[in-house]
Amino acid sequence: MRFELRPGASRPFNFHLGFGLPLALMLLLLLADPTALDFAIAHWAYDPQAGFIGRHSGFLEGILHDRAKQAVILIGLLAIVGFVLSLLVGRWRAWRRPLGYLVLAMGLSTGYVTPLKALTGVHCPWSLSEFGGQESYTPLLGSRAPTAKPGRCWPGGHAGAGFSLFALFFVLRDRRPRLAKAALALALALGISFSVGRMLQGAYFFSHNLWTALFDWLISLGCYRLLLYRLAPAPAGELAAQSEADLTSN
């Protein structure tokens, strides 16, 4: 059965690349230990006398961490309210699936972080002896050193709030392409800003936030493929012709 893009169908998307590149990067992170890069970046933000340069920054903690995260949470709450309205109000019905996608994608993009942190027990830079703490560093796949306080720093939680907005890009790409590009730029800008801010505070290594970006992209893309992506079927005449050709060939 042949499909082609028609009005109302989704715009073309290369899912092989969309899924394949992040998965390849994940494999690379597992095979090529990013510890050297993580420590080099962390040392750049660390002063042996004063600690991490952003540890006590009011802007990084109060604005870029607390207020910015609250703004993203507000977007998620508005999506939930909109989805509920789409179930109750007829004129909102056309937005039921897009809003349902947005709620699901953003929820999954933030909901996996805490369980993975508890499962992996990776320490934050500020907890490590190399950066004035008391804990010993172990790679992601290494055995954790004995400690009374397991880490809670992989993947990067705060970065996930920004990268969860990848969902806005996918919910808009088939309806408002230009606005979708702006949403993608916003997600990248917030995710990167949140990542850099927390790295300056010593909360995460670079690779912790990169993992978060890859996870969030795959979640948003996977939900888009399952819930929103649509190819219009070929017209009945073309289907009949194709069926006849198939019978003839057999």
pLDDT of 233 reads: 59
Closest CA to 53 of 61, 43, 45, 44: 45
pLDDT in tens, 8-34: 688 999 999 999 999 999 999 999 999
Q: Where are the domains of the chain?
A: 52-140+149-227
Phi/psi of residue 177, nearest 5 degrees: -55, -45
- Confirm if 167 and 223 have CB atoms less than 8 A apart: yes
**CB-based burial of residue 161 (10 Å sphere; 0-12 exposed, 13-18 middle, 19+ buried)?**
buried
How many residues can be counted in the chain?
250
User: pLDDT class for 144, splitting at 50, 70, 90?
Assistant: confident
- Confirm if 204 and 159 have CB atoms less than 8 A apart: yes
pLDDT in tens, 40-77: 999 999 999 999 999 989 999 999 999 998 999 999 99
pTM equals 0.89
pLDDT of 143 reads: 86
pLDDT of 171 reads: 95
Q: Please name the residues in contact with 173: beta carbons below 8 A apart, sequence gap of 6 or more.
A: 10, 11, 13, 180
pLDDT of 231 reads: 76
User: pLDDT class for 235, splitting at 50, 70, 90?
Assistant: low
**Residue 77 token pair:** 């709450």
Mean pLDDT, all residues of the chain: 90
